[in-house]
Amino acid sequence: QIQLVQSGAEVKKPGASVTVSCKTSGYTFTAYGVSWLRQAPGQGLEWMGWISPYSGNTNYAQKVQDRLNLNIDISTSTAFMELRSLRSDDTAVYYCSRDGGIAVSPTDYWGQGTLVTVSS
């Protein structure tokens, strides 16, 4: 079955960086994009960016584009999200999701989420 398994919770100080991994299985990794989204406590869903494992192309939300880096390791079917210069308002649950692409399909399978807490 299709699975996306994320790395564990992180606690970081303001100004630090965090990397979250997302190991996929059960489908052809290069056939779908991976979107990263986040959800602040008690808030709605915010899309952060997308990467194509096939081409390596990326697209970032304007709000985080200067601090976000998305990468992949095709050999292990794993996607990575690095967020730099963390601030307290980056505290959120971060999700990876399989993304069929614009005008093709929505984000259909999601990881379990990774809580990132930014606190001094």
Partner 1 sequence: DIQMTQSPSSLSASVGDRVTITCQASQDVNTYLGWFQQKPGKPPRLLIYGASNLEMGVPSRFSGSGSGTDFTFTIASLQPEDFATYYCQQYDNLPLTFGGGTRVDLK
Give the shortest CB-15-to-partner 1 separation in angstroms.
26
Give the shortest CB-29-to-partner 1 separation in angstroms.
Answer: 19
Identity of the residue, 76 or 112, whose beta carbon is nearer to partner 1 in the bound complex: 112
Rounded Cα gap, residues 81 and 83, in angstroms: 7
Whichever of 14 and 106 has its CB closer to partner 1, that residue is 106
Nearer to partner 1, 53 or 111 (CB): 111
**Smallest gap, in angstroms, from Cβ of residue 43 to partner 1?**
9
Query: Which of 19, 43 has the CB closer to partner 1?
Result: 43
Residues that bind partner 1 in the complex, under the rule CB under 8 A = 35, 37, 44-47, 50, 59, 61-62, 95, 97, 102-113
* CA torsion angle 14 90 107 23 (round to 10): 20
In order, the DSSP letters of 57-118 are -EEE-TTTTTTEEEEEEGGGTEEEEEE-S--GGG-EEEEEEEEEETTTEEEEEE---EEEEE
